Amino acid sequence: MSTGRKIRILAAKPGLDGHDRGIKVICHALRDAGMEVIYTGLRQTPEQIVSTAVQEDVDVIAMSVLSGAHDYLFPRVMDLVREKGLKDVLVVGGGIIPEEDIPALKSVGISEIFGPGTYTSDIIRYIQDNVQSKS
């Protein structure tokens, strides 16, 4: 990735889940790593998330769901990402996501799923290694 601009990340909480400890910790860590982070706050619909991603011209969408609704919400976000033509945006997810759900989520275009216990440093490295340069 070139040094043209900072990596811009949309951190999002899709659905009704209120567990935001993890995503807030990650936002903090990503900022400390020099990235620009926009946090949506709670209760975002997939439509709101993708529309914010377009407006903010982000490189990454990072979603967190701990309610078990990832099986509906993550694919829905990916449908909209494709619909809006956000080809270069890296989409990652995290939360309480059973291992057996991961292949299906990756098959619709989620690049990586981070489970409980993941280090923020691993997430930072993954994003740095995989984000598409826009500059």
- The answer to whether 34 contacts other proteins (rule: CB under 8 A) is no
Whether 41 and 73 have beta carbons less than 8 Å apart is answered as no
Instruction: Give strand pairing partners of 112.
Output: 92
In 40-110, DSSP assigns E strands to 60-65, 90-95
Pairing of strands 36-39, 8-12: parallel
Residues written for the chain: 135
Residue closer to other proteins, measured from CB, 4 or 117? 117
Q: Per the structure block, which two tokens stand in for 122?
A: 């691993």
Q: Kindly determine how many residues on this chain lie close enough to bind other proteins according to the rule CB under 8 A.
A: 35
- The answer to whether 103 contacts other proteins (rule: CB under 8 A) is no
Among 7, 27, 62, 63, binds other proteins (CB under 8 A): 27
Residues that bind other proteins (CB under 8 A): 15-21, 24-25, 27-29, 37, 39, 41-43, 45, 67-69, 71-73, 76, 96, 98-100, 115-117, 119-121
